[in-house]
Amino acid sequence: MSLTDPTSGDDELLARYLDGRALLPGDAERLQAVLTDAATATRIKELLLVDNLLARSLAPERADFVNRMRSRLERAGESARFVSRVGEAAQRQTWRTRGRWLAWAAGAALAAGLMLIFFLPVTGVGVVESGSGRYWRAAVERPLTTGANLIAGDRVIAENTLRLHLNDGSSLTLDTDSELTLAPTAEVAAALVRGRVSAQVAKRPAGATWRLRTPYADVAVVGTMFTCALDAQGARVAVGEGVVNVETPHAAGSAHESLRLVAGEVVLAAPTGGLQRLPADLPSAGLLGWWSFDEELAGGIITVADRSGNGRDGRAEHCYSVPGIAGRGVAFKGRALIDAGLAGLGEPAEFTISLWLRTSSPHYGMLFSEVCTIGHGAGHPLHPGPPGDPAAAGRLSAAAPRSSGEQEAWLHSDRRVNDGTWHHACWWYREGVWRIWIDGQPQGEQRLPAVTPFDWANWRFCIGAGTEQMVYNFDGELDEVRVYGRALVDGEIKALAHPSGRE
Amino acid sequence: MDHAAFLELVARTEAPVRSYLAGIGVPVMDIDDLAQEAYLAHFRQAGAMPADADELGWLKGIARNMALRFFRTRARQGKPLGEVVELLEGATVTWSGGEDAQLDALRRCLSALDERTRAMFSAYYAEGGSSAAVGARFASTPEAVRILMLRMRERLRLCIERRLVAEGGA
């Protein structure tokens, strides 16, 4: 029997099989029969592999397997710790009452332990002041309403804004869908599992700290107000008043970091990116997109989040994570590129592109281009030097948009940047004038001749590559790419180049 | 095994493990779940692997067991497909290059398809693999969608093969 003949009727069988294995009675047996032919079996296997490639390529969330695996691992770890706690509790109870329980089988003892944990002496840690949610206690989930008492080890999930009053006088406010465990250990007041919590911590005796645990760091507090949020980038701690010490976990094989935070924010990058103090004064007005590349990029196709809040998530292809200027950065080599997710932006009269780069390459490579343009031929490649011009090698450039057959008008930076160290680069455009900055220093200006207007209406910008043929790929590393729909003022560009708080 | 080392292993091997699961007939919508289960099982029993074992081969073995268990469950629901696993496993695919090369070839081959077909593929994989949903969206029947997608997958298969051969020989 062959599946190569469309008239054989077996195409329908194969079509059903490939469509989520939607087989009819008898199909499985027919499939087995056709698979005994080696050539047909190979063909079907190749079709299954095509199916897998299509799923990876067209459903981008499927590309992010490593990060999902990390989350799964963390959830499994929490579950294991919970089971371990229950087991220890069961053991304590067994010792206490062993005379009466000797007849019980080991499995029954564990089950009894699970039930009897309710009767163990427990420490009340607080009460629900307002809001509602759910909580897990001894493997049982229950609704959580105003006035409910909470004990150590309770895992609380907020269904709406949930305010908890703790016995020590502190209060915690959980955002909707946030989750934390209360007093998981004697030293830790709460452990944030996901979401965001705001804390107002009661005054402590001298030397006593109040500790919030996150997967990425502990926040040790001495009488203060602060907020801690977990997202894909890690944990973010913002201090309202007072002082917070933020520390990375003491883990074997990783450096321990500590940061004293008086005001502002700190990001604790996931999972081992260390501590980074966020500048408080970076410009945000007019921000069209901001890609910090803090995701773990390990080849393949992975979504990179737009942190501007505009939802312009990008698509990294064949990129790899490297230590960046803030958290992770991204390395480009070969066919790597990032579709920045910017499209349909009209004809801007002004804009600014800011990024950090590190390269040692003398070769031409595009940093930000129209590689993914949809049906548009003109462009404004911004890259270290036009091809074939040795004098421009290693310098940052900007080129005017051009009509077909016209020469590009180039602006080159005075300095070179291909020295293997991180540099901040900024391209600025307003009404026919280009400017370039390197590390906050202006690098020249050029008024462009009459030019084709920037037509971003049909563009889809790519970072790190030149054309659809994948030529002029950038060879180096990038981080913190920001695109503004306005021309920033000098002070704003300097702030981007010298963010406050950076060591 | 610590988390960092384990995640490094995942990053290094997830593509071939998932490709292996696809090649023995696990539906694409279930591949990620089974692969995750396989990795978790390996993480929990890292000591069970002989020191001289090939780690990818070991992982594929775990994934195979997960797949067989999956098919046994499905068989109880009237979908006896476990028997085809061995037949598919024995089939030889000679595509050159790793997954990156295959994805690259796929992307180029997809660009040669007409816009409507590309849109149908996108809808199919983005919406959980339902030919009924795609049919409703594109004013077609589920049966017609299945047949069209089979033909297009066939076209992509041949195109990918040609490109991989051309690039492998370049």
Give the pLDDT confidence of A167-185 residue by residue, as tens digits: 888 889 898 888 888 988 8
Q: Which residues, in sequence order, are CB contacts of A463 under 8 Å at separation 6+?
A: A291, A314, A337, A338, A340, A367, A368, A478, A481
| Mean pLDDT score across all residues of chain A | 72
* A326 three-class SS: coil
**Closest approach of B63 to chain A, Cα-based (Å):** 15
Q: Which of A312, A319, A263 is nearest to A294 (CA)?
A: A319
CB-based contact, B115 to chain A, within 8 Å: no
For residues B108 and A125, give the distance between their C-alpha atoms in angstroms, rounded to a whole number.
60
Other C-beta atoms within 10 Å of A396: how many?
A: 28
Does the beta-carbon distance from B74 to A28 stay under 8 Å? no
- Predicted pLDDT at A3: 45
Least confident interval from A226-235, A321-330, A481-490: A226-235
How, if at all, do strands A460-463 and A337-343 pair? antiparallel
- Predicted pLDDT at B16: 92
Does the beta-carbon distance from B29 to A49 stay under 8 Å? no
Question: What is the CB-side half-sphere exposure of residue B143 using CA atoms within 13 A?
Answer: 5
- Percent of chain A, pLDDT > 90? 7
Instruction: Tell me which chain A residue has its CA closest to the CA of residue B145.
Output: A15
CB-based contact, B80 to chain A, within 8 Å: yes
Q: What is the pLDDT of residues A258-276, one digit of tens each?
A: 665 544 455 555 545 565 5
* Interface test mutation site (partner A, options B1, B7, B18, B20, max chain A beta carbons within 10 A): B7
CB-based contact, B168 to chain A, within 8 Å: no
List beta partners, residue A155.
A136, A181
Does the beta-carbon distance from A65 to B102 stay under 8 Å? no
Pairwise pLDDT comparison (A488 vs A371), residue with the higher score = A488
In which band, very low, low, confident or very high, does the pLDDT at A25 lie, cut at 50, 70 and 90?
confident
Q: Which helix (H) or strand (E) holds B34?
A: helix B28-44
Q: Rg of chain A's alpha carbons, rounded to an integer?
A: 29
* A367 three-class SS: coil
Interface of B with A in 129-148 (CB under 8 A): 129-131, 142-143, 146-147
For residues A104 and A500, give the distance between their C-alpha atoms in angstroms, rounded to a whole number.
64
Does the beta-carbon distance from A47 to B23 stay under 8 Å? no
Q: Which two tokens stand for residue A493?
A: 């560009």
Query: Is the peptide bond prior to A271 cis by the omega test (within 30 degrees of 0)?
Result: yes
Pairwise pLDDT comparison (A14 vs A244), residue with the higher score = A14
**Closest approach of B51 to chain A, Cα-based (Å):** 23
DSSP string covering A14-58: HHHHHTTT-PPTTHHHHHHHHHTSHHHHHHHHHHHHHHHHHHHHH
Burial class (CB in 10 A: 0-12, 13-18, 19+), A67: buried
**Closest approach of A54 to chain B, Cα-based (Å):** 7
What b/e readout covers A88-101, taking b as 16+ CB neighbours within 10 angstroms? Answer: ebbeebbeeeeeeb
Does the beta-carbon distance from B91 to A45 stay under 8 Å? yes
pLDDT at A332 over 60: yes
What is the distance of C-alpha A13 from the center of its chain? 42
Q: Which two tokens stand for residue A218?
A: 């502990």
For residues A351 and A373, give the distance between their C-alpha atoms in angstroms, rounded to a whole number.
18
Q: Which residues, in sequence order, are CB contacts of A308 under 8 Å at separation 6+?
A: A284, A287, A288, A289, A290, A482
Q: Which range has the top average pLDDT, A231-245, A391-405, A475-489? A: A475-489
Q: Which two tokens stand for residue A225?
A: 């107000």
In which band, very low, low, confident or very high, does the pLDDT at A119 lie, cut at 50, 70 and 90?
very low
Q: What is the pLDDT of residues B46-57, one digit of tens each?
A: 778 888 888 899
Does the beta-carbon distance from B129 to A58 stay under 8 Å? no
- Predicted pLDDT at B153: 92
- Predicted pLDDT at B154: 92
- Predicted pLDDT at A385: 39
Q: Taking a C-beta distance cutoff of 8 angstroms, is the pair A44, A3 a contact?
A: yes
How, if at all, do strands A140-144 and A133-137 pair? antiparallel
- Predicted pLDDT at A471: 57
Residues of chain B with pLDDT under 50: 170
Does the beta-carbon distance from B87 to A53 stay under 8 Å? no
pLDDT at A404 over 50: no
Pairwise pLDDT comparison (A37 vs A79), residue with the higher score = A37
- pTM listed for this prediction: 0.41
- Percent of chain A, pLDDT > 70? 59
